[in-house]
């Protein structure tokens, strides 16, 4: 195939399973005349080859090693196939890539919808007593009509969002019909947010008013242990906490203590520290602690949507337009 001066080399280690044939075809077709180098992160025997060929690439799609990216002088743009980008969110990596003008984008647009729907499902299911009723069905099959008087309406309850990225913004839209009072806390307020936004310095005084604390924080030096014992203790009695960010952002030992004491009514965790969570970890048996194994971002069309998101950004890159979900 002949190539002109506009031809780019695209390196990809986005893993596709054996039954995912349409997704690689979509990527190959969308790449057009560009050179496409496909690798699998599971192929240990080709890791050296993949790392070496990364040095020849203009674009990377998947999740390359951050240090290898820094050592690849030709790379102009990296698109990660995940919403998280912890390994790239380090001062040395950021400075190295920003200094030479390498762009890094993530796939927040791919994961905002499933993660927001996952949170909505847990918020509403807890309000309607579904987990407790399900426990009874799978346990002693008792007819738990005694639950009825204690089931709350969500209307007017206060939701606090820690972080206001793509997931939180989509959750706001899904919660709007329930007429809940939604507040976000973020470090940098832009002024064009669609809801009330508070600064981190205001957080502690607001916590006693919160019915639902939704944590979407990524893992980095600033967020580690952000939801600590002192902040959990400030929450309104009966509050519920949800963590869909990263396990390192939450003091899990303090959470277990609060749940055992009955001061917090429930917790929903899609992420934990560590992952997988050991079978003997106290969280498994903490009262009203409901755990899903990092499922929130998963969906049937996940790989296809990753590819379409990349191809959408590729068209923008070709045109010199701003890229979606830029993080560096």
Under DSSP, the state recorded for 85 is: -
The C-alpha angle 21, 310, 88, rounded to 5 degrees, equals 115
Name the stretches of the chain with pLDDT < 70: 1-5, 41-46
Task: Give residue 43's pLDDT.
Answer: 56
Angstrom distance (rounded) from CA 328 to CA 317: 15
pLDDT in tens, 227-271: 999 999 999 999 999 999 999 999 999 999 999 999 999 999 999
Task: Give residue 5's pLDDT.
Answer: 53
Task: Give residue 46's pLDDT.
Answer: 65
Q: Are 199 and 247 in contact (CB under 8 A)?
A: no
Q: Which residues, 6+ apart, have CB-to-CB distance to 248 below 8 Å?
A: 219, 223, 224, 225, 273
Q: Are 118 and 270 in contact (CB under 8 A)?
A: yes
CA distances from 131 to 3, 138, 158, 199, 242 (A): 58, 11, 21, 34, 15
Q: Are 103 and 77 in contact (CB under 8 A)?
A: yes
Task: Give residue 15's pLDDT.
Answer: 86
Task: Give residue 312's pLDDT.
Answer: 98
Helix axes 108-127, 166-175, angle to 10 degrees: 40
For domain 9-106+300-319, the CATH architecture is 3-Layer(aba) Sandwich (3.40)
Residue range(s) in the chain whose domain bears CATH number 3.40.50.720: 9-106+300-319, 111-291
Under DSSP, the state recorded for 278 is: P
Task: Give residue 16's pLDDT.
Answer: 86
Task: Give residue 3's pLDDT.
Answer: 42
CATH 3.40.50.720 for domain 111-291: yes
Task: Give residue 153's pLDDT.
Answer: 97
């Amino acid at each position: 195939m002949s190539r002109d001066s506009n031809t780019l080399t695209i390196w990809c280690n986005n893993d596709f399973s054996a039954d995912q044939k349409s997704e690689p075809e979509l990527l190959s077709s969308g790449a057009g005349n560009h050179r496409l180098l496909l690798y699998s992160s599971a192929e240990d025997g080709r890791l050296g080859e993949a790392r070496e060929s990364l040095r020849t690439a203009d674009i990377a799609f998947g999740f390359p090693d951050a240090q290898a990216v820094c050592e690849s002088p030709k790379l102009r743009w990296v698109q990660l196939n995940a919403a998280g980008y912890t390994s790239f969110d380090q001062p040395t990596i950021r400075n190295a890539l920003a200094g030479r003008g390498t762009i890094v984008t993530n796939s927040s647009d791919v994961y905002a919808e499933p993660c927001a729907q996952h949170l909505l499902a847990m918020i509403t299911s807890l309000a309607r007593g579904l987990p407790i009723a399900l426990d009874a069905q799978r346990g002693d099959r008792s007819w738990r009509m005694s639950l009825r008087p204690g089931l709350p309406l969500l209307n007017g309850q206060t939701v606090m969002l820690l972080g206001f990225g793509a997931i939180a913004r989509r959750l706001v839209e899904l919660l709007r019909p329930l007429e809940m009072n939604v507040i976000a806390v973020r470090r940098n307020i832009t002024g064009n947010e669609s809801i009330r936004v508070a600064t981190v310095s205001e957080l502690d005084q607001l916590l006693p008013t919160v019915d639902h604390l939704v944590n979407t924080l990524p893992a980095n030096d600033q967020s580690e242990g952000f939801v600590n014992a002192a902040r959990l203790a400030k929450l309104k009695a009966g509050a519920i906490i949800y963590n869909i960010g990263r396990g390192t952002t939450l003091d899990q030992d303090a959470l277990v203590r609060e749940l055992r004491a009955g001061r917090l009514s429930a917790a929903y965790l899609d992420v934990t520290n560590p992952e997988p969570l050991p079978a003997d970890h106290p969280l498994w048996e903490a009262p009203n602690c409901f755990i899903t194994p990092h499922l929130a971002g998963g969906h049937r069309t996940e790989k296809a949507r990753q590819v379409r998101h990349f191809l959408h950004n590729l068209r923008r890159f070709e045109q010199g337009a701003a890229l979606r979900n830029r993080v560096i």
